[in-house]
């Protein structure tokens, strides 16, 4: 599996949105090939089905609970996971961290409000205990300004 760059995620969101007619963050499985083609990804249906099965198996093994979307729909996050399995390029650890950071940095300000971080981490498939989460926040928010910026997170996560 390849980690997607922020630019690829933005492009994917744009193309995915064209098929998300209900605006609920899902598209019919029948449109996945159209979105992949729009993103310049030419794969066979067998390759796509293999990638989708891999994502489904990962979700089941991670015990993420039942799928909240109809069985004939795929969420944007699951689409990204499927697409990343179809990519062939490698991404550095720092780029992987930057991509993960961009998921939390919804406003694109290169900083994550600690309260937003707390909220998102509380909804994670494997939530941290309150004590562990607060310890992580204390470690990462070095200047104690209520925001986690990329460089603070990088310092802790990559120990550079």
Give residue-wise pLDDT tens across range 93-137: 777 777 778 777 777 788 999 998 888 877 766 778 889 889 989
Q: What is the DSSP string of 46-77?
A: HHHHHHHHHHHHHHHHTT--S--S-TTEEEHH
**Which region holds residue 23: left if phi is over 0, alpha if psi is between -120 and 50, else beta?**
left
Give the Cα separation of 68 and 61 in Å (integer): 17
Give residue-wise pLDDT tens across range 34-85: 888 888 877 777 777 777 776 666 655 554 555 544 567 888 888 888 888 7
Give the Cα separation of 41 and 122 in Å (integer): 34
CB of 13 closer than 8 Å to CB of 77: no
Label the pairing between strands 111-113 and 26-28.
Answer: unpaired
> Which residue is listed with tokens 């937003």?
116
């Amino acid at each position: 599996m390849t980690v997607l760059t922020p630019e690829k995620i933005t492009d994917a969101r744009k193309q995915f949105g064209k098929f998300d007619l209900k605006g609920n963050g899902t598209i019919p499985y029948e449109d996945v090939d159209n979105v992949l083609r729009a993103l310049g990804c030419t794969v066979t249906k067998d390759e796509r089905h293999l990638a989708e099965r891999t994502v489904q198996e990962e979700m089941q093994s991670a015990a993420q609970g039942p799928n909240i979307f109809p069985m004939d729909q795929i969420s944007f996050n699951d689409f990204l996971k499927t697409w990343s399995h179809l990519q062939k390029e490698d991404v550095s650890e720092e780029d992987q961290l930057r991509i993960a950071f961009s998921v939390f940095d919804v406003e694109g300000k290169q900083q994550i409000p600690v309260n937003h971080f707390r909220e998102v981490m509380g909804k994670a498939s494997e939530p941290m205990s309150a004590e562990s989460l607060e310890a992580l926040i204390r470690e990462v928010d070095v200047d104690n300004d209520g925001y986690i910026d990329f460089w603070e997170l990088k310092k802790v996560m990559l120990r550079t």
